[in-house]
Amino acid sequence: MNISNNLIESHGLKKDEYKKIVNLIGRKPNLLELGIFSAMWNEHCSYKSSKKFLKKLAVKNKNVIQGPGENAGVIDIGDDDAIVFKIESHNHPSFIEPYQGAATGVGGILRDIFTMGARPIATLNSLHFGSPEHPKTKNLLNGVVSGIGGYGNCIGIPNVGGEIKFNSSFNENILVNAMAVGLINKNKIFYSKAKGINKSVIYVGSKTGRDGIHGASMASAEFGENAEEKKPTVQVGDPFTEKLLLEACLELMKDDSIISIQDMGAAGLTSSSVEMASKGKIGIEIDLDKVPCREKKMTPYEMMLSESQERMLLIINNGKEKTAEKIFRKWNLDFSIIGKTTNTNNLVLNFKGSQVANLPLSSLSTDVPLYDRKWKKNTLPKKQKFLENLEKIKILDCLKKILSSPNNSEKKWVWQQYDHTVMGDTVQKPGGDSAVVRIHGKNKGVALTVDSSSHYCKAFPLYGGKQVVCEAWRNLISVGAKPIAITNCLNFGNPEKETVMGQFVECVDGISQACTYLDFPVVSGNVSFYNETNNKSIEPTPTIGGVGLINDLKNMISQNIKGTENYILVIGKTAGHLYQSELYREVIGFKNGPPPEINLFNEKNNGMVIQKLISKKIVKSVHDISSGGILVALTEMCLAGNIGVKIKTPNNNMTLHEYMFAEDQSRYLIEINEENHENVSKILKENSVHFDIIGKTQKEKIELSNNFSISLNDLKMLFSSWFYNYNKV
Amino acid sequence: MKSSVIVFPGSNCDRDIAVALEKFKIKNQMVWHNDANLPKSDLVVLPGGFSYGDYLRTGCIASKSRIIDEIINHTKKGGLLLGICNGFQILTETGLLPGILLRNKELKFISKNVFLKVTNLDNNFCHNYKKKNIIKLHIAHNEGNYFANNDLLKKLEDQNLIAFKYSDRNGNINDNTNPNGSSNNIAGILNSEKNILGMMPHPERMIEPLLSGEDGSLMFESLFNKK
């Protein structure tokens, strides 16, 4: 078959990339081989634009067992327990078909976890939608939430947390980032690297169908007018089969049958076989007649590029085939020995008695082109003099507006559609700073959070990248955890544009600075470029999933106010930074100016002091101050505990608006009782941590002296209604 | 006290219920749905989950499992049978309990804590609720909307076969306290002999303060101290 320019282009390959292919293999590829190159050389699978910059990230600390490069990262949490976790994007498919796109996003990330031998114990997600008024948003929101619930509820893994944000830059490119967390014995981790020659290559799980063909390539290009036409590239999820696959794999993993294992995710059978063999520096030969197919007359091209879900590829020890088959048959799953490992260093595919492809594995892995793309430096926006007289707008009106806005209102409508208590170990539910999941049968737990701040990153990527890592760190500290490591999902526009690449490079720089300083390394993640429609790209959105350890659950703490007559303290310095704050964006509609800057020394110092106070059991509750500033954070604490507060007017050189709504970073609110007041003040002073005492808790209402008084019930209505009203039929 | 938890393909609360049973000193074993024989048990539990993915009617395929005949024999001999969530759906599909579970009124999955009034205290599952008959448990279901026609509802009410009704914290039962549209706010029912209980809420998820409540514990204590 003649490989025309059109055909090359429709496979998402550039002309010079095609030339490189011909050079590498010393001949023209056939159509099947071209398809394989397209699957392995696209941005989603190859990281060709991002690799150079990702190398900057800190990837190790004393807890890290496995950093980036495997199905997921692994960290040690003591007593032979390890946590396996990763976050991944499913943005493009979710925009085309929200239910299935989101569902298979959850399915895919769960497979990354149990492929390593871990039992998944929690999922989280970060969702970004367009403006609520955009005609597509309501449908996308409902479809994505139902899809995430439909998959996770069925398989029975608790969905313990996440975030949902609305912003018009996502009108035509939503973000669906799914994170999964698993528990494993650190001595029994399974990897994808193949070992040994003449070992059986085994296909298990669902049959291969014609769904999701070229899914990864679709996800590596921007959308045009015709996004909906790409629906056939979206996979269809089957959580029931995934549950069977999960149980069958974990059952087989109890003994030493498996040498290596890899799930068939993006680029299906192609990427799984290529990755396993190339990591093991051996060859692999597959007989495509043996691949279980859902439909008749499937071609090798379709089999190799299908992204049908719920499939796994295993390489197992000789003689273990029967044991493995028995287990998979018990769970009613397909099981087929489709090939063997070889010493050729090539990927060889046979079909109906003839060889249909033969490619050196290096051409699909180490020789994938890498780009050093041009990028444009970002400048820090100026602090424009703000003309409007803020004093005219009442403090209470600002609070009400922020609390009832889509981005700041309570997300119960969403998380009550997710089973968050199955498995019986969810000890801190969605809605707090971090979720906490107990390690089964033990008195320790992991704290989990997922965070992003796209408008900070848009305003100045370096600060934004730094901020989002710190936000995750703070959220873990706030529940009493020791932050250990992160996973990141980097969502950006078209990297071929210098502005987008500039945003990427500087966000990654920010992330790198923060995670190095805080000893909070990146152990897994993915990059999603080309989040762009008709030439308009999304706001740069790195999403950070953080994991921390609570060694003794007695030291777990929450944000809800525990009692009346207790002091409320602001920990950390408030400087009055209102640019990019919710007050400016939501209340005034002013979106220019720089995001708040992070001082990493203060971040670490303040966080460690909070840890000290928690471990001494002299704080009642802790909440980090983020979006909306002090007054919003304090209201959240009061609503969670159903206890009010009387706030005194602070004595400083700021306006009340600046003090109450500024989004200066590295700050927390804490509740302490009177008898610990002296002790807490002493510790804070010894550690040079700035603090303000801003009020005392009381029954039923929130008051600001000489300014306002409002009942908790009224605030609760404002805080809890937005999602219900928006989705009313 | 010995129990068997039946594991169907797609069960996902099987481990949770086993943990709860063992916590309350009930000797439990897991039984595969395709087994021919039921081990000697005082109590059989059909756990929550999505048996066969719930792709057909919920509980329908599981109700045709090989072990089901053995379970029916067990109940005929007076053995106890508890179906939670998907287990309740399986019980209505087998005909061991009357009525049917429809999709929730709002057509959305609901996962939240609800208050319940224990309306029958005179059975082996609930007698310990005499101490406390308004309780908090977690529900997590898409098809929990119990439907019964008027004749059946009358029978259930007259013969006092309703075990739990959705209520508020003070025990008031009305439309505002009905999360899923169930007839007469029904959350769980008993058979006439009161040795079979089907319920949508999950007692196994509320067995310690750390899990936001202990009201499920009273059911396992009731079972352990069988009347």
Give me the catalytic one of B85, B93, B126, B127: B85
Minimum CA–CA partner of B55 in chain A: A240
Residue ranges of chain B whose CB lies within 8 Å of a chain A CB:
9-10, 12-13, 15-16, 19-20, 48-50, 52-55, 108-112, 138, 140, 142, 202, 204-205, 207, 210-212
**Given this model, what pLDDT does residue A390 score?**
83
Q: Does the pLDDT value for residue A313 go beyond 90?
A: yes
**Given this model, what pLDDT does residue A266 score?**
80
A243 vs B12, B16, B48: nearest CB: B12
Would the CB atoms of B50 and A243 count as touching at under 8 Å?
Answer: yes
pLDDT, tens only, A599-653: 999 999 999 999 999 999 999 999 999 999 999 999 999 999 999 999 998 888 8
Give the structural domain span for B220. 2-224
Would the CB atoms of A438 and B210 count as touching at under 8 Å?
Answer: yes
Among A665, A659, A668, A663, which Cα is nearest to A624's? A668
Domains identified in chain B, total number: 1
Would the CB atoms of A240 and B19 count as touching at under 8 Å?
Answer: no
Q: Does the pLDDT value for residue B227 go beyond 90?
A: no
Whether B26 contacts B220, CB under 8 Å: yes
Residue A476 burial (CB count, 10 A): 30
B111 vs A238, A240, A418: nearest CB: A418
B60 assigned to active site: no
Whether A391 contacts A517, CB under 8 Å: no
Would the CB atoms of A417 and B212 count as touching at under 8 Å?
Answer: no
Query: Residue B59: left (phi > 0), alpha (psi -120 to 50), or beta?
Result: left
Angle among Cα A42, A491, A233 to the nearest 5 degrees reads 45
Q: Does the pLDDT value for residue A225 go beyond 70?
A: no
Residues of A with CB below 8 A from B12's CB?
154-156, 243, 422
Three-class SS of residue B21? helix
Residues of chain A with pLDDT > 70, as a percent, come to 97
Binned at pLDDT 50, 70 and 90, residue A729 comes out as low
Would the CB atoms of B111 and A420 count as touching at under 8 Å?
Answer: yes
Binned at pLDDT 50, 70 and 90, residue A350 comes out as very high
Question: What's the mean pLDDT when you consider all of chain A?
Answer: 94
**Given this model, what pLDDT does residue A420 score?**
97
Question: What's the mean pLDDT when you consider all of chain B?
Answer: 96
Minimum CA–CA partner of B205 in chain A: A424
Q: Does the pLDDT value for residue A127 go beyond 80?
A: yes
Q: Does the pLDDT value for residue B129 go beyond 90?
A: yes
**Given this model, what pLDDT does residue A231 score?**
66
Would the CB atoms of B140 and A424 count as touching at under 8 Å?
Answer: no
**Given this model, what pLDDT does residue A212 score?**
74
- A389 CB within 8 Å of a chain B CB: no
Binned at pLDDT 50, 70 and 90, residue A433 comes out as very high
- A438 CB within 8 Å of a chain B CB: yes
**How far, in Å, CA of B216 to CA of B227, rounded?**
18
B13 vs A416, A420, A422: nearest CB: A422
**Given this model, what pLDDT does residue A222 score?**
73
**Given this model, what pLDDT does residue B44 score?**
98
Among B87, B96, B90, which Cα is nearest to B60's? B90
**Residue tagged 């250990």 (tokens):** A484
Q: Does the pLDDT value for residue A31 go beyond 80?
A: yes
**Given this model, what pLDDT does residue B154 score?**
97
Secondary-structure percent of chain B, ordered helix, strand, coil, rounded to 5: 30, 30, 40
Q: Does the pLDDT value for residue A296 go beyond 80?
A: yes
**Given this model, what pLDDT does residue A522 score?**
97
Give me the catalytic one of A11, A44, A92, A623: A44
Q: What is the dihedral sign for C-alpha A321, A325, A328, A330?
A: negative
For A596-630, b/e burial (b = at least 16 CB within 10 A) is: bebbbebbbbbbebbbebbeeebbbbbbbbbbbbb
Would the CB atoms of A239 and B50 count as touching at under 8 Å?
Answer: yes
A419 vs B55, B140, B211: nearest CB: B140
| Window from A285-299, A373-387, A611-625, A681-695 with minimum mean pLDDT | A373-387
Q: Does the pLDDT value for residue A219 go beyond 90?
A: no
Residues of A with CB below 8 A from B9's CB?
240, 243-244, 331-332
**Given this model, what pLDDT does residue A210 score?**
86
pLDDT, tens only, A412-421: 999 999 999 9
Span A285-305, average pLDDT = 94
**Which residues, numbered 157 to 176 in chain A, qualify as contacts with chain B under a Cβ-Cβ cut-off of 8 Å?**
none
**How far, in Å, CA of B132 to CA of A301, rounded?**
65
The residue that leads in pLDDT, A86 or A652, is: A86
Q: Mutation test of the interface with chain A: which of B5, B32, B85, B109, choosing the one with the most A Cβ atoms within 10 A?
A: B109
pLDDT, tens only, A150-182: 999 999 999 999 999 999 999 999 999 999 999
B204 assigned to active site: yes
**How far, in Å, CA of A401 to CA of A176, rounded?**
27
**Given this model, what pLDDT does residue B35 score?**
93
Would the CB atoms of A240 and B55 count as touching at under 8 Å?
Answer: yes
Residues of A with CB below 8 A from B22's CB?
none
B157 assigned to active site: no
Query: Residue A699: left (phi > 0), alpha (psi -120 to 50), or beta?
Result: beta
Would the CB atoms of A156 and B205 count as touching at under 8 Å?
Answer: no
Q: Mutation test of the interface with chain A: which of B169, B210, B211, B220, choosing the one with the most A Cβ atoms within 10 A?
A: B210
Q: Does the pLDDT value for residue B27 go beyond 70?
A: yes
Q: Mutation test of the interface with chain B: which of A123, A144, A145, A154, choosing the one with the most B Cβ atoms within 10 A?
A: A154
Binned at pLDDT 50, 70 and 90, residue A218 comes out as low
- Complex prediction ipTM: 0.96
- A239 CB within 8 Å of a chain B CB: yes
B196: domain CATH number? Answer: 3.40.50.880
